[in-house]
């Protein structure tokens, strides 16, 4: 049967009976039936981007039909909402898909087609509505008496326009990372699995973002006085039940659109002239560049247009206009500038950035974020699976390195992965030296669903073992896919056996037992009848798969056998071991064919070709050996640590490898050229130990355990320079106060190196004076001395010490002893007279006198140990981090003032340049970076994006961006302001009402809202600064003579005099605080003491008042504005009472602004 799609006829040629050809006019339902037959090869799971690509490249009609079928209901519902009239909605529906057919090739964000269609349909519907309004203006007044249209939308009786306007606006304002799942799941009705595939996100990510998007929408609506229960909000978003597009409409639309794509023939193919006019009107003026900008803007306005509960009546003509938007259109693709409201992208490779991130230093392609334990190619070569130390199984696109899916279920490392021969199943096994779950799990590759779990038991711990633990947890499919072989699943195994499992049931079939030491490797022969195994007993044994009985022993190694591989034709078996020998055996007879002495212990082996063997050593190199000559023909370098697993692609062109230790990437190599294909260049290959910005903020510096120090462009993530060679495990970077010297811990902690910042020339090294290692460092405020935290051997015991060094000469000046274990962190007070330190295995912070090395005080309260310390900018406060959280201390008294709660674990800390915000890295059901307000101890915001422990955070000098480095080897740059990530300009015009709201927010208890207000005002200095100038006043200074008189009157014999003096002193507030404290120290009479203590309590209470909080946040606005007008306001505030905190803060702010680098 052949179906002429554009002609609308069906020619039947395959019916039984006499041969005949008949042509008939197809009914819409029959046409639709054949359209769906035409798309039978298009899976419901095929992403939009793929379908659109097929249509653009091949004019694939089936792909276009699938797109209309998938998005038609959503488009029709939107048009009905805007237009109300059913006929008009159908016209707009057709016009929207006509535009798609014509403009398909120019759509850059093909993965966001649903949002693109939303915007186009909304714009087309608005044009139709405007045209209808113009027509009605020419109608007679009697038209108002015309009978109602019997085809009018029955839902158009709802009247909730005010509510709808608010709802539309708030949906539009959702960040794209939340807006897209709301559209796909709530407006289009896709399941979360379908939406995740469309967006190429993991199901967990989509579910979390969808929930956060709906919660954020509900919160914003509540703030605007519209409180909707979650269920009602879901109904409003979904629009209730909506009929699918009628069959005739789909058919005529597809025919017309395909013709319209060929220019100008749409009318003859079923689209009325008015529909073509609508489409042409939408296309007018849409040049390629303008389209990218305009669509991005209308998308964000139109995303809410399908809101169903309130969305089915045309607004009155006088209100049929868009609300003014302060958010600019998104930038064109490829500019590197952020898009509005959404998930930014790493423009260098097109990978999405985490929400709130501005740039990534490096790539996430083939990057797991934790040690990769094993790797396997799918039989079709298109997918690569990796088992990872974080308990995740990751599936990657083999040709791009893009992450396709993450399979989660293990509570510990995934030690092995293996595809079934038909590619339908993936087998995995958990384990490790200490494990809770060593089960074997079977996953369906196409869906990522876990099908079966078996072979697990409670694990144990072996204190000492030789080499990698992966051998105990291997799994391998038989060539027919019916049997799965596994190792013991426990490194403490005493039975030294292999288990064979029925893949279909998960039941154990039989065991292969006979080795005298643990089995370390095994492999099926290509025929599937034999299983070979290597062991710590120095033998290779061959087993009958059907019976489990041993067939033969191959002896030739003088050490444990680590690796086995059959040749491609199954005629030869290769083995390698700790004895640095590769043996080649005849698979049929067991005869040794060849013995090759190699340079190191063999950790993994695979046949690259029948006569070429690849093996990995314990130093990170892969060697290719020609078996004919026995010579090494190529060396692939280099992993940081030993090569633990090798896998050849099915076509034989690519070799995949993974390494031990801190190697977090899947490495791919071109076997023909030896070229490394992944991971991409410009990425740290191991954990990032430290990040810091250059003093001018133009570059970001990171130090990693891959022995490199790298300089990046923070805005783009582009690597500018790399310093390597001899750095060892580099970490802990710091610039001198004048920015001329960069210091870093290098060589695994045995050296501190000093570089000239401008030229990167090494100035000198500070070698560790004995046994032990450096861990932390900090420059003194004058830059002349450097403080290091370290461990050092004294006699037979290691102690934690601080050491003071002369920067100019490298001479050791002073040693501070007292810690019982290695010093993890150090910090100078702002005046340089005091230092703070924290140590591993000690829960106290220690304070020392710099000049003498004398210990002044211990601040007790942390659990286990202290990881980070920093002083406030005035030196009055100390902030410290323990595993359990962040604590704030009063330096003068050692009193704990408050804790920052909310995280399960905190791993890093830094104070912002203005001293009012702290940034932290930690763990809270996921790895997070966050901001906290020092004044209140409240969390301001947090971001997720790292896959492992966040060990370092650093503010840019202007405080507007934050960098974080992690054990996942990634560096991310975050938007502190919350404005740049949404594509907003640096200066925003604010309405008077909005200004009043922001001013109120500055005094509020909602810290995140106040944080937003600070940056909204700071980025609109033309309005924010005048507001603060009008509202902030300097604290009036008290007359010293009057103060003396009032304090004396507190001891008057007249009660009224004492009361009047008390009231006057209360009004003076903190202007009288210093005199009151002086009086209290002189041991006054009980009456005076009581009154003074009460007055001081009121002063302290006023310091926590909303007005005081607003004033301090206002100073933050002025500092971030940094304009001459802002400085004038600060100068006026600095002239207030010298002892007042506002006065002191204003002076300190002016000093920081004077030191700020000129942009």
Q: Which CATH number is 1089's domain given?
A: 1.25.10
Q: Mean of the pLDDT values across residues 750-763?
A: 90
Q: What is the pLDDT of residue 472?
A: 66
| 935 has pLDDT over 60 | yes
Q: Decide if 530 is inside a domain.
A: no
Task: Report helix, strand or coil for 717.
Answer: coil
More confident residue, 30 or 216: 216
**Region 452-476 average pLDDT:** 60
Q: Where are the beta strands (DSSP E) in 637-687?
A: 643-648, 654-659, 667-670, 676-678
pLDDT value at residue 893: 92
Mean pLDDT value of segment 710-738: 84
Q: What is the pLDDT of residue 138?
A: 56
If one compares 202 and 955, the residue with the highest pLDDT of the two is 955
Lowest mean pLDDT among 176-185, 807-816, 864-873, 991-1000: 176-185
Rounded to whole angstroms, the Cα distance separating 785 from 46 reads 63
Confidence of residue 309 (pLDDT cuts 50, 70, 90): very low
Average pLDDT score over residue span 761-789: 90
User: Is 226's pLDDT higher than 70?
Assistant: no
pLDDT of residue 1: 32
pLDDT digits (tens, 9 = 90+) for 1032-1061: 999 888 888 998 999 899 989 899 999 999
Residue 97 has phi, psi (to 5 degrees) of -80, -25
C-alpha 202/C-alpha 209 separation (Å) is: 11
CA distances from 33 to 73, 248, 250 (A): 17, 11, 11
Angle at 293 between CA 292 and CA 295, to 5 degrees: 70
Enumerate the β-bridge partners of residue 756.
741
- DSSP H helices, 1019-1105, are 1021-1031, 1040-1049, 1055-1068, 1073-1081, 1086-1103
| pLDDT tens-digit readout, 1095-1129 | 988 888 877 789 999 999 999 999 999 999 999 99
Residue 989 pLDDT more than 90?
no
Whether residues 213 and 277 fall in one domain:
yes
What is the distance between the alpha carbons of residues 702 and 708, in angstroms, rounded to a whole number? 8
Determine phi and psi for 999, rounding to 5 degrees.
-60, -40
Give the pLDDT confidence score for residue 930 in this predicted structure. Answer: 94
Q: Report the DSSP beta bridge partners of residue 817.
A: 801
Specify whether 108 is located in the same domain as 189. yes
Query: In the block, which residue shows the tokens 């492992």?
Result: 948
pLDDT attached to residue 693: 95
User: Are the C-beta atoms of 91 and 156 separated by less than 8 Å?
Assistant: no
Report CA 434 to chain centroid distance, whole Å. Answer: 29
Burial of 343 (0-12, 13-18, 19+ CB in 10 A): buried
**3-state SS assignment for residue 1093:** helix
Q: Which residues pair with 459 in a beta bridge?
A: none
**The pair of three-digit structure tokens given for residue 270, joined into one six-digit string:** 């079923």
**Rounded average pLDDT over 217-233:** 55
Residue 998 CA: distances (Å) to CA of 210, 890, 918, 938, 1022: 28, 31, 22, 19, 15
Helix (H, G, I), strand (E, B) or coil at 665: strand
Q: Which of 528, 529, 549, 531 is nearest to 540 (CA)?
A: 531
* Residue 622 near residue 669, CB atoms below 8 Å: yes
Out of 882, 911, 931, pick the residue that ends a domain: 931
Is 80 exceeded by the pLDDT of residue 459? no
User: 368: closest CA among 400, 397, 406?
Assistant: 406
- Asked if 864 and 732 sit in the same domain, the reply is yes
Q: Give me the pLDDT at residue 1074, please.
A: 84
Which backbone phi and psi does 949 adopt, to 5 degrees?
A: -55, 135
Stretch 502-524: mean pLDDT: 92
Domain boundary among 319, 351, 373: 319
Q: How far apart are CA 746 and CA 386, in angstroms?
A: 32
Answer whether residue 229 is part of any domain: yes
Lowest mean pLDDT among 219-223, 264-268, 581-585: 264-268
Sequence-separated (6 or more) residues with CB below 8 Å from residue 35 = 5, 65, 250, 251, 254
| C-beta separation of 315 from 161 below 8 A | yes
- The last residue of one of the domains, among 884, 906, 931, is 931
Distance CA 615, CA 607 (A): 9
- 317 or 1084, which is more confident? 1084
User: Cα dihedral sign for 75, 81, 85, 86?
Assistant: positive
Closest CA to 325 of 343, 303, 305, 298: 298
- Mean pLDDT for all residues in the chain: 80
Q: How far apart are CA 178 and CA 180, in angstroms?
A: 6
Chain mean position to CA 152: 48
CB 164 within 8 A of CB 307: yes
State whether 1004 and 884 are in the same domain.
no
- Three-state DSSP class for residue 164: helix
Residue 1143 lies in a domain: yes
pLDDT at 173 (0 to 100): 64
Regarding whether 908 and 786 lie in a shared domain, the answer is yes
The Cα 982–Cα 699 span in angstroms is 23
Determine, yes or no, domain membership for 163: yes
The answer to whether 936 and 945 have CB atoms below 8 angstroms apart is no
With vertex at residue 437, the alpha carbon angle to CA 432 and CA 438, rounded to the nearest 5 degrees, is 60
Q: Whole-angstrom Cα distance, residue 1158 to residue 596? A: 65
Which residues, other chains included, contact 273 with Cβ-Cβ below 8 Å and sequence gap of 6+?
267
Q: Are 440 and 427 in contact (CB under 8 A)?
A: yes
| Complete edge-to-edge strand list for the sheet that includes strand 357-361 | 357-361, 971-975, 961-966, 950-955
Per the structure block, which two tokens stand in for 752?
């501190």
Q: How many CB atoms lie within 10 A of CB 461?
A: 11
163 with 211, same domain: the answer is yes
Q: What share of the chain is helix, strand, coil (3-state, %, to 5)?
A: 30, 30, 40
792 with 861, same domain: the answer is yes
Separation CA 683–CA 349 (nearest Å) = 13
* Cis-peptide into 74, omega within 30 deg: no
Q: What is the pLDDT of residues 776-809, one digit of tens each?
A: 999 999 999 999 999 888 887 888 999 999 999 9
Confidence of residue 981 (pLDDT cuts 50, 70, 90): low
What strands lie across the sheet with 581-586, from one edge to the other?
561-566, 572-577, 581-586, 592-597
pLDDT bracket for residue 1130 (50, 70, 90): very high
Lowest-confidence region among 16-25, 48-57, 230-239: 16-25
Q: What's phi and psi for 962, nearest 5 deg? A: -135, 135
Number of H helices, E strands in the chain: 23, 61
- On the question of pLDDT at 129 being above 60, the answer is yes
Give residue 50's domain range. 39-141+155-319
Residue 85 lies in a domain: yes
pLDDT(553) > 60: yes
The answer on 215 and 273 residing in a single domain is yes
Residues 923 and 1064 in one domain: no
| Most confident residue range from 3-7, 690-694, 1065-1069 | 690-694
User: Based on the domain organization, do 814 and 861 belong to the same domain?
Assistant: yes
Look at residues 259, 286, 244 and name the one whose alpha carbon lies nearest to residue 98: 259
270-280 residue pLDDT tens = 567 788 888 88
Q: What percent of the chain has pLDDT over 70?
A: 79
Instruction: Indicate the range of 446-460, 582-596, 792-806, 999-1013 predicted with least confidence.
Output: 446-460
% of the chain exceeding 90 in pLDDT:
42
Residue 477 CB partners (closer than 8 Å, separation 6+): 418, 419, 420, 421, 427, 483, 484, 485, 503, 524
Instruction: Read off the pLDDT of each residue in 979-987 and give the average, rounded to a whole number.
Output: 57
Q: Which residues on neighbouring strands pair with residue 896, listed in sequence order?
A: 889
pLDDT on residue 397? 94
Do 267 and 174 have their domain in common? yes
Residue linked to tokens 């190199």: 621
Q: Which whole number is the average pLDDT over 665-675?
A: 91
Residue 590 lies in a domain: no
Confidence at residue 187, expressed as pLDDT on a 0 to 100 scale: 65
CA–centroid distance for 1074 within its chain: 49
In whole angstroms, how far apart are CA 322 and each of 126, 305, 524, 734, 828? 10, 11, 67, 51, 56
Nearest to 601 by CA among 569, 550, 560, 634: 560
Rg (CA), the chain: 35
Tokens representing 1114 are 């206002």
| 178-192, 434-448, 517-531: the lowest-pLDDT one | 178-192
Q: Which residue has the higher pLDDT, 1094 or 749?
A: 1094
Rounded-to-integer distance, Cα 465 and Cα 491, Å: 8
Indicate if the pLDDT at residue 343 is higher than 60.
no
pLDDT tens for each residue of 587-605: 999 999 999 998 889 989 9
Query: How large is the angle between the packed helices 1021-1031 and 1124-1133, nearest 10 degrees?
Result: 20
pTM score, whole prediction: 0.67
- CATH code, domain carrying 727: 2.130.10.10
Give me the residues paired with residue 586 across strands: 572
> Looking at the structure, do residues 763 and 816 belong to the same domain, yes or no?
yes
The answer to the question of residue 862 being in a domain is yes
Q: How far apart are CA 708 and CA 367, in angstroms?
A: 18
DSSP 796: T
Q: How many domains does the chain have?
A: 5
**Cα 65 from Cα 957, distance rounded (Å):** 54
The answer to whether 949 and 927 have CB atoms below 8 angstroms apart is yes
Q: In this structure, is residue 1005 part of a structural domain?
A: yes
Q: Which of 301-310, 551-560, 628-637 has the highest mean pLDDT?
A: 551-560
**CA-closest candidate to residue 418, choices 369, 484, 509, 487:** 484
Burial label for 1052, CB within 10 Å (0-12, 13-18, 19+), is middle
């Amino acid at each position: 049967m052949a179906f002429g799609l554009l002609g609308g006829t069906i020619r039947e040629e395959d019916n039984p009976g006499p041969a005949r050809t008949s042509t008939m006019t197809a009914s819409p339902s029959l046409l639709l039936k054949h359209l769906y037959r035409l798309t039978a090869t298009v899976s419901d799971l095929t992403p939009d981007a793929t379908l659109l690509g097929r249509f653009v490249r091949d004019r694939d009609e089936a792909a276009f039909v699938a797109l209309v079928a998938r998005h038609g209901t959503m488009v029709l519902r939107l048009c009905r909402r805007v237009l109300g009239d059913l006929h008009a909605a159908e016209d707009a529906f057709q016009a929207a898909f006509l535009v798609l057919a014509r403009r398909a090739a120019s759509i850059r964000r093909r993965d966001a087609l649903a949002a693109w269609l939303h915007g186009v349909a909304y714009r087309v519907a608005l044009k139709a509505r405007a045209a209808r309004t113009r027509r009605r203006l020419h109608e007679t007044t009697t038209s108002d008496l015309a009978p109602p249209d019997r085809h009018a939308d029955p839902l158009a009786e709802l009247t909730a326009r005010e509510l709808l306007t608010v709802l539309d606006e708030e949906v539009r304002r959702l960040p794209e990372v939340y807006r897209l799942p709301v559209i796909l799941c709530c407006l289009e009705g896709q399941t979360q699995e379908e939406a995740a595939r469309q967006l190429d996100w993991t199901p967990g990510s989509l579910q979390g973002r969808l929930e956060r998007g709906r919660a954020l929408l509900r919160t914003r609506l509540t703030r605007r006085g519209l409180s909707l229960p979650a269920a009602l909000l879901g109904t409003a978003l979904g629009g209730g039940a909506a009929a699918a597009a009628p069959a005739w409409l789909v058919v005529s639309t597809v025919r017309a659109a395909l013709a319209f794509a060929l220019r100008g023939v749409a009318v003859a193919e079923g689209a009325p002239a008015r529909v073509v006019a609508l489409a042409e009107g939408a296309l007018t003026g849409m040049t390629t560049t303008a389209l990218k900008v305009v669509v991005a803007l209308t998308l964000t306005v139109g995303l809410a247009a399908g809101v169903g509960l309130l969305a089915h009546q045309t607004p009155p003509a006088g209100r049929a206009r868009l609300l003014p938007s302060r958010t600019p259109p998104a930038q064109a693709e490829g500019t590197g500038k952020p898009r509005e409201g959404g998930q930014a992208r790493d423009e260098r490779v097109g990978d999405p950035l985490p929400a709130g991130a501005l740039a990534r230093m490096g790539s996430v392609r083939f990057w797991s974020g934790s040690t990769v334990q094993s790797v396997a190619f799918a039989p079709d070569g298109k997918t690569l699976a990796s088992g990872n130390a974080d308990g995740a199984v990751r599936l990657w696109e083999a040709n791009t390195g893009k992450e396709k899916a993450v399979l989660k279920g293990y509570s510990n490392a995934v030690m092995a992965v293996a595809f079934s021969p038909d590619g339908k199943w993936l087998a995995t096994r958990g384990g490790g030296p200490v494990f809770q779950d060593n089960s074997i799990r079977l996953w369906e590759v196409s869906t990522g669903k876990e099908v079966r779990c078996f072979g697990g038991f409670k694990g144990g711990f072996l204190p000492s073992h030789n080499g990698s633990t992966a051998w105990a947890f291997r799994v391998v499919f038989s060539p027919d896919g019916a049997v799965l072989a596994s190792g013991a699943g426990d490194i403490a195994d005493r039975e030294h056996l292999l288990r064979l499992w029925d893949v279909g049931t998960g039941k154990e079939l039989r065991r292969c037992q006979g080795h005298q030491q643990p089995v370390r490797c095994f492999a099926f022969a290509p025929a599937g009848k034999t299983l070979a195994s290597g062991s710590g007993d120095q033998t290779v044994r061959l087993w009958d798969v059907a019976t489990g009985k041993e067939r033969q022993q191959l002896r030739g190694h003088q050490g444990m056998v680590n690796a086995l591989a059959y040749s491609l034709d199954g005629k030869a078996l290769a083995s390698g071991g700790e004895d640095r020998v590769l043996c080649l055996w005849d698979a049929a007879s067991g005869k040794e064919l060849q013995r090759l002495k190699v340079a190191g212990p063999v950790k993994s082996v695979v046949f690259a070709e029948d006569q070429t063997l690849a093996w990995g050593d314990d130093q990170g190199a892969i060697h290719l050996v020609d078996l004919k000559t026995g010579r090494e023909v190529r060396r692939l370098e280099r992993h940081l640590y030993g090569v633990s697993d090798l896998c050849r692609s099915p076509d034989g062109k690519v070799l995949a490898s993974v390494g031990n230790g801190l190697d977090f990437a899947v490495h791919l190599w071109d076997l023909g050229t030896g070229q490394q294909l992944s991971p991409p260049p410009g990425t740290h290959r191991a954990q990032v130990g430290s990040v810091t910005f250059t003093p001018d903020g133009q570059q970001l510096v990171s130090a990693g355990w891959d022995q490199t120090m790298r300089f990046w462009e923070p805005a783009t993530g582009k690597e500018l320079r790399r310093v390597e060679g001899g750095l060892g495990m580099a970490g802990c970077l710091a610039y001198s106060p004048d920015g001329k010297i960069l210091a870093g811990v290098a060589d695994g902690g045995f050296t501190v190196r000093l570089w000239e910042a401008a030229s990167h020339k090494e100035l000198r090294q500070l070698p560790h004076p004995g046994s032990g290692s450096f861990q932390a460092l900090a420059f003194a405020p004058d830059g002349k001395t450097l403080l290091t935290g370290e461990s050092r051997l004294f006699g037979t015991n290691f102690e934690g010490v601080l050491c003071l060094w002369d920067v100019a000469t490298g001479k050791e000046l002073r040693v501070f002893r007292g810690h019982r274990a290695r010093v993890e962190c150090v910090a100078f007070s702002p005046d340089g007279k005091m230092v703070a330190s924290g140590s591993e295995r000690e829960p106290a912070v220690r304070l020392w006198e710099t000049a003498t090395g004398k210990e002044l005080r211990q601040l007790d309260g942390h659990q286990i140990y202290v990881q980070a310390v920093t002083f406030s900018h005035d030196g009055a406060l100390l902030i410290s981090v323990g595993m359990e959280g962040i604590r704030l201390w009063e330096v003068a008294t050692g009193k704990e003032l408050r804790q920052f709660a909310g995280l399960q674990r905190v791993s890093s800390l830094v104070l912002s340049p203005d001293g009012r915000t702290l940034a932290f890295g930690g763990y809270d059901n996921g790895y997070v970076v966050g901001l906290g307000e020092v004044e209140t101890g409240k969390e301001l915001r947090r971001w997720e994006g790292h896959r492992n422990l966040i060990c370092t955070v650093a503010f840019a000098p202007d405080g507007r961006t934050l960098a974080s480095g992690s054990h996942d080897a990634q560096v991310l740059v975050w938007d502190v302001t919350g404005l740049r990530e949404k594509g907003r300009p640096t200066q925003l015009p604010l309405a008077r009402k909005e200004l009043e709201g922001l001013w109120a927010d500055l005094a509020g208890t909602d810290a995140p809202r106040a944080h937003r207000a600070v940056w909204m005002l700071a980025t609109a200095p033309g309005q924010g600064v005048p507001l603060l100038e009008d509202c902030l006043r300097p604290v009036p200074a008290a007359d010293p003579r009057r103060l003396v008189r009032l304090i004396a009157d507190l001891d008057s014999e007249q009660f009224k005099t004492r009361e009047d003096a008390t009231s006057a002193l209360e009004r003076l507030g903190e202007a009288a605080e210093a005199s009151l404290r002086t009086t209290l120290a002189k041991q006054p009479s009980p009456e005076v003491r009581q009154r003074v203590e009460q007055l001081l309590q009121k002063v302290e209470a006023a310091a926590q008042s909303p007005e005081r909080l607003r004033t301090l946040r206002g100073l933050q606005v002025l500092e971030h504005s940094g304009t001459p007008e802002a400085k004038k306001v600060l100068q006026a505030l600095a002239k207030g009472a010298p002892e007042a905190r506002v006065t002191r803060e204003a002076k300190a702010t002016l000093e920081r602004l004077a030191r700020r680098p000129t942009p």
